[in-house]
Structure 1
Amino acid sequence: MSSYNHTTYAILGILTTSCRSGYAIKQFIDRSLNHFWKISYGQIYPTLKLITEEGLAVIQTSSQQGKPDRHEYELTDKGKTVLREWLEQPIEQLSVERNEVLLKLFFGSHQSKQQTVYILQDYKQKLAQRYETYVSIENSILEHATDEEKDAEYWLLTLDYGKRTTVAAIEWCEHALQQFEFKERS
């Protein structure tokens, strides 16, 4: 099996949904994957080019009056096989989170305690907003999913991970803020 990067596998996976054009893929990423897997707009078209060159997808071009031709991508049997083989492989490594708050906190002794508290409070607020976004996405999936929608179950499971880790991060913020309040009283 040829080895591709994770962006390639992500786009192969997206092509199993109703998203067929580069624009639709980008919208799908912005609404869903972007919460846990970043893919820039600039990566999409080179990846689509690669997967067509490798025979993992084919392009169907349709004319649009007054607009450029529309290119839609469809997975080939080879593309489906490559995706399935990748999905069946064990996870290579645990992901390492790049977290600006943790980086600033690590060097926090070089800033005022008030600034550290502000950063933690701001982070907690942003996490609460993220949680509300996840709830909104969950409600949308539940509202629009049909019994035949096999992806919805997996989307909800992925979303549950995001909700739970966000709740844990909010709890961590509360604990960290309590630490600073305790030290100020001492």
Structure 2
Amino acid sequence: MKAYYNDTTYAILGILTTEYRSGYEIKQFIDNSLNHFWKISYGQIYPTLKRLEQDGLATIDITAHSGRPDRKAYHLTQKGKEILREWLEKPIQQLPVERNEVLLKLFFANHQTPAQTTHLLKDYHQKLIELYQTYEGIEEIISAHDSNLKDARYWLFTLDYGKRTTEAAIAWCEATLKEL
């Protein structure tokens, strides 16, 4: 029987193709990159790493540190690489479903004052501008420090998606505020 793996498993298999190997390093990588489009908590990372090791998809190297807990570094096995490749080659199952609190509140905005609706959209607009600036900062870091990595090109593609969708949301906010 073939094992079933969830998207968190595949995300961590993918991360293990980079230089990030310990649970802590994986979480740092997620917080600085994937977290903008894929959330994974510590509570998901460690059980997933344990399962990867149990299923033979990863091995562990343990390094002792005096006065500190041992460092566990995870490495993909050939089987892990094959499972990741199989998943990457499968077509997507469904389009992403967006859960957007601003849109939900706007949908029912007839039940609040126009001033409250305007405030909601102006606040959202400002947060989108800040997010866009964050994306620009990440792009500068990748271009300056990681541009020689094979993965950097694909990191920039996903970042471009984030920038473009944020630009579209900013334009939508501006048009909606104008209509109000």
Counterpart Cα distance in 2 of 1:146 and 1:138: 10
Answering whether residue 155 of structure 2 is matched by residue 155 of structure 1, we say: yes
Pairwise CA distance, 1:41: 1.6
TM superposition score normalised by structure 2: 0.97
Matched letter for residue 51 of structure 1: L
Which ranges in structure 1 are unaligned for 5 or more consecutive residues?
181-186
Counterpart Cα distance in 1 of 2:84 and 2:118: 45
1:81 aligned counterpart, secondary structure = helix
- Taking only the aligned residue pairs, the percentage that are identical comes to 65
Relative distance call for 1:105 and 1:79 in structure 2 (3 A) is same
Pairwise CA distance, 1:126: 0.3
Which ranges in structure 2 are unaligned for 5 or more consecutive residues?
none
TM superposition score normalised by structure 1: 0.94
Q: Which residue of 2 aligns with 1:32?
A: 33
Answering whether residue 46 of structure 2 is matched by residue 14 of structure 1, we say: no
Counterpart Cα distance in 1 of 2:146 and 2:65: 30
Matched letter for residue 87 of structure 2: W
Answering whether residue 77 of structure 2 is matched by residue 85 of structure 1, we say: no
Relative distance call for 1:95 and 1:115 in structure 2 (3 A) is same
Kindly provide the CA deviation profile for residues 118-176 of structure 1, in whole angstroms up to 9, marking residues without a partner as x.
Answer: 000000000000000000000000001243x1000000000000000000000000011
Question: Where does structure 1 differ by over 6 angstroms across 4 or more consecutive aligned residues?
Answer: none
Pairwise CA distance, 1:110: 1.1
Counterpart Cα distance in 2 of 1:53 and 1:99: 37
Q: How many residues align?
A: 179
Counterpart Cα distance in 1 of 2:177 and 2:132: 19
